A and B are shown apart, each in its own frame.
Chain A
Amino acid sequence: AMLDPDRGLSLTIARVVQRLQGSSLHSQLERQARVSLHKPEIKLESLKEDIKDFLKTSGWEKKLQNAVYSELNVAQSPIQPVLEHFQVWSIHNFSGQPGSWEKRILKSLNSMCTELNIPLAQKRPVNEQKELLNKWNEMGTDEPDLSLFRPVYAPKDFLEVLMNLRNPNYENGEQPSFRNHLGLIQVPLKVKDIPELKEDFSELGLNIGQLGIDDSAQVPPEFFENEHVCVGQKVLAEQDSAAAQQYVRQGCPTALRADLWALILNISNQPEDILYYEQLKSNVIQHNLLVDSLIYKDVKLTASNDDYYFVFEDYLYQVLLCFSRDTSVLEHFTYSSATPPKSYIQGKLGMEEYAVFYPPNVNYNSFILSVAPLCFLYHEPSKLYQIFREMYVRFFFRLHSISSHPSGIVSLCLLFETLLQTHLPQLFYHLREIGAQPLRISFKWMVRAFSGYLATDQLLLLWDRILGYNSLEILAVLAAAVFAFRAVNLMEVTSLAAAEAVLADLSTLKVMPLLQIFLFATVT
């Protein structure tokens, strides 16, 4: 049913108000208002107006604006400009029982516990707590025996699940454009075409300056870079989240990126945030979770062997161990159809303070790769933690859970396949013929937001745009652009393995030219 836009708007407002009420910003504003009563410019006759003016000039209104903006970005907006009724699917409409994917993970975890005779969660003995506290900063040097732990699932398992999704409420024939779809995804979600993408990503157009293109060594900095840096500094001085989000669509200067991302994500590292992180840390010290070993194993396998990320191995343990105990993340899942399973410390069933949750993706590999690039920007642990958590809640969780959201992994897969089939049909058919369905290769890139595949500076330029456009669709566009770029070689391969080989090394790619050419310079 189409939602009345006005009703939807007041719902949104009500929700935002509810979330901000009782937040620390709320109490700070109250305090500020109260303090301002002592100021001479606040008169009783015009109390309301005067306090409002005061909050404006003292910068508190801007903080409130940023907080509202942040809430709007996180909450799944029920308002879509064009409402198709299949966009209000919940996970219950996908095949199998409601929440079947997450239940499967929990089942697998439980059976691992039984096999290995390890509880899901238990309290640590005191001497072990002391030891962990001492080596908190260098967990990378530990070498526990992890050979018995196996990953709960691999990305290709997840792809198998996605491939088998069907919506029983639908006949594929009802969506005419879908009738000829030859890719792996078989749910007819609505995805954008190139003209729509060009509009959405208009700031990436050929006539507009970009970092990642117009800051290369051959281009004099006066042409674009210097001016762009100045604008960036102004945006930071104004502390305006919305302006920052608009600005980063053209890329962040390296020196300003950390602050710009923090502004967009509304992270200010207040004392209460640091305290929260410390509480999580003490939770880690006190309790040992089964997933800790999985995290440990995954960090070892992933980051330790990466040319760029190995340096930050120790930070990764800290962030991920804390994250797995952060139940506040669960609040955000009330907006998404994914509901992560919860567990309780042994013997404390049902007591909320002893709850731990298992995020949808218990394959921490993808998590690790989404934290690691952030280590290039933030080295204060609590700030790094908060930035990661906010990125997860806004974006990355959509890569690991099943939903109909345009930035969800299902939509991204479909978008990728559609772009490729529509604009490079010869290549698509050829790869399909030789048993190399393109999604089989590009899935791992998208599910990791290209982390671990691109050079770090290129990855950061890509993530600038994720933040700028508040969408993950650019991942699908980039994946298609990579195939387009290597199309000549791909046309010559005759097996999946050979296709994988052509696309194995993305470390030399420059993402912005690829995106620009694919969107704006390819004949459609």
Chain B
Amino acid sequence: FRIMAGKVKWVTDIEKSVLINNFEKRGWIQVAENEDWNFYWMSVQTIRNVFSVETGYRLSDDQIVNHFPNHYELTRKDLMVKNIKRYRKELEKEGSPLAEKDENGKYIYLDFVPVTFMLPADYNLFVEEFRKNPSSTWIMKPCGKAQGKGIFLINKLSQIKKWSRDSKTSSFVTQSSKEAYVISLYINNPLLIGGKKFDLRLYVLVSTYRPLRCYMYKLGFCRFCTVKYTPSTSELDNMFVHLTNVAIQKHGDDYNHIHGGKWTVSNLRLYLESTRGKEVTNKLFDEIHWIIVQSLKAVAPVMNNDKHCFECYGYDIIIDDKLKPWLIEVNASPSLTSSTANDRILKYNLINDTLNIAVPNGEIPDCKWNKSPPKEVLGNYEVLYDEEMAQSDGTDRDLRGRPGQSPGVKGSRARDSGKPVLTTWK
């Protein structure tokens, strides 16, 4: 009985083997939601309930959950853009060099999200921008959906008449979050490999927002479209060409079930170094790390930094043919479904490493701990940014650090994550 009392009690509402196997291998005990639990891996619907004002749910010190209460500040497409825009304006107001603009008025260091507008709210602003480049293509995405659902491309204003605020055909559309869309400039010059378009999926673990402490999973991957990419307008309707979501690609005729159209990030690195050179490849990866950290800093002030929470995000990034990375979106519940055997292994290890950091020693947690795991437990994670460490270094160099700066700020080896590899230490 004494032994049982010391074991972590877990609940989940996501029936995925990669999760359950990890809990079981730690000897944790499965319990029901209404019982006393220590660890709850919940879906985003559940987190909404747990932290909603009505339920008055109070988590005790020995309870940990896998989402921040208002993660949607980062993971909803419209709010992410809003927060980044706000963050940039704030930096500009305080005269920070990070907010520097070039002669065309574009941010030099903080222009990493494609131009985006909310619809129908910003419809007129969008039209103004659209008319500047009438031959451009835009991508419409519903704010509240995932897995590529409801996305379509447009290149004519008539295709989105419905969202116009003074449209006679629609009565005033209620701002229910289901019908809100964002429209972003479509990146029609993606970097192609073997003639195919791909995007990057990177996993980032945040253990606390204030101070910001985040980790990057080394084993990210590229997701390839099965059909050859063409910017031709006649293929705009062919989602297999344009969307890299595995959920969409899986139903294409060419989808291959053995490899699932994925490459490891290290493969990508090898290819880019071999064909483009080492400097530009290092610069690309530095920039990728940079934009992830900036996106987290942008939402940190508005995040409810509840100490019972940690979160593992799935970052979607596209690289264009000038080797510039663009942040497309951040997922709060990255898919735990495995499309191939290798995939299953990867996700299993991802959860394993995540749990090792979030629940130290696999023991009953105490949410008041300092969230500084020793280096040995990181597994395939690397420290991406540790605000406390950065500040205790004397100069707040990381805040001033920019992509492409001297290696002194970055740490000795470019092969590591570009940001200073800081050893966090109890």
Task: Give residues in A with beta carbon < 8 Å to B.
Answer: 137-138, 140-141, 143, 217, 220-221, 253-255, 257-258, 304-308, 310-315, 375-379, 456-457, 460
The answer to whether B23 has its CB under 8 Å from any CB of chain A is no
Q: Chain A nearest CB: distance from B243 CB in Å?
A: 17
Known interface pairs A137-B195, A255-B278; A305-B259 also in contact (CB < 8 Å)? yes
Task: Give residues in B with beta carbon < 8 Å to A.
Answer: 193-196, 224, 227-228, 253-254, 256, 258-259, 261-263, 266-267, 270-271, 273-275, 277-278, 342, 412-413, 415-416
Chain A interface helix/strand/loop/mixed: helix
B253 CB contacts on chain A under 8 angstroms: 143
B413 CB contacts on chain A under 8 angstroms: 217, 221
Distance, CA A456 to CA B256, complexed state (A): 21
Known interface pairs A312-B194, A313-B194; A217-B416 also in contact (CB < 8 Å)? yes
Q: Contact check: which of A217, A221, A255, A315 meets B194 at CB < 8 Å?
A: A315
Return the chain B residue nearest A310 by Cβ. Answer: B259
A306 CB contacts on chain B under 8 angstroms: 259
Distance, CA A257 to CA B274, complexed state (A): 7
B261 CB contacts on chain A under 8 angstroms: 310
Q: Chain A nearest CB: distance from B420 CB in Å?
A: 15
Q: Contact check: which of A137, A255, A258, A457 meets B228 at CB < 8 Å?
A: A137
A141 CB contacts on chain B under 8 angstroms: 227-228, 254
Q: Contact check: which of A304, A308, A312, A377 meets B256 at CB < 8 Å?
A: A304
Max chain A Cβ within 10 angstroms of own Cβ: one of B273, B274, B277:
B274
A304 CB contacts on chain B under 8 angstroms: 256, 259
Q: Chain A nearest CB: distance from B325 CB in Å?
A: 19
A143 CB contacts on chain B under 8 angstroms: 253
Known interface pairs A141-B227, A308-B263, A308-B267; A314-B278 also in contact (CB < 8 Å)? no
Known interface pairs A258-B275, A305-B256; A456-B270 also in contact (CB < 8 Å)? yes
Return the chain B residue nearest A457 by Cβ. Answer: B270
Inter-chain contact A305/B270, CB cutoff 8 Å: no
Inter-chain contact A375/B194, CB cutoff 8 Å: yes
Return the chain A residue nearest B262 by Cβ. Answer: A307
Closest 10 CB pairs of A and B: A311-B194, A254-B273, A255-B278, A138-B228, A255-B277, A312-B194, A305-B258, A254-B274, A377-B274, A457-B270
Distance, CA A141 to CA B240, complexed state (A): 12
Distance, CA A377 to CA B271, complexed state (A): 7
Distance, CA A517 to CA B278, complexed state (A): 30
Inter-chain contact A311/B263, CB cutoff 8 Å: yes
A307 CB contacts on chain B under 8 angstroms: 259, 262-263, 342
Q: Chain A nearest CB: distance from B418 CB in Å?
A: 14
Q: Chain A nearest CB: distance from B84 CB in Å?
A: 32
Inter-chain contact B195/A314, CB cutoff 8 Å: yes
Q: Contact check: which of B195, B256, B342 meets A310 at CB < 8 Å?
A: B256
Can you report 12 A-B residue pairs in the complex whose CB atoms are below 8 A from each other? A138-B195, A138-B228, A141-B227, A217-B416, A307-B342, A310-B261, A311-B263, A313-B194, A314-B228, A456-B270, A457-B266, A460-B274
Inter-chain contact A254/B195, CB cutoff 8 Å: no
Distance, CA A378 to CA B194, complexed state (A): 11
B412 CB contacts on chain A under 8 angstroms: 220
A253 CB contacts on chain B under 8 angstroms: 278
Inter-chain contact B194/A376, CB cutoff 8 Å: no
Inter-chain contact B278/A254, CB cutoff 8 Å: yes
Inter-chain contact A314/B342, CB cutoff 8 Å: no
Inter-chain contact A217/B259, CB cutoff 8 Å: no
Return the chain B residue nearest A253 by Cβ. Answer: B278
A314 CB contacts on chain B under 8 angstroms: 194-195, 228
Distance, CA A160 to CA B254, complexed state (A): 37
B273 CB contacts on chain A under 8 angstroms: 254-255
A137 CB contacts on chain B under 8 angstroms: 195, 228
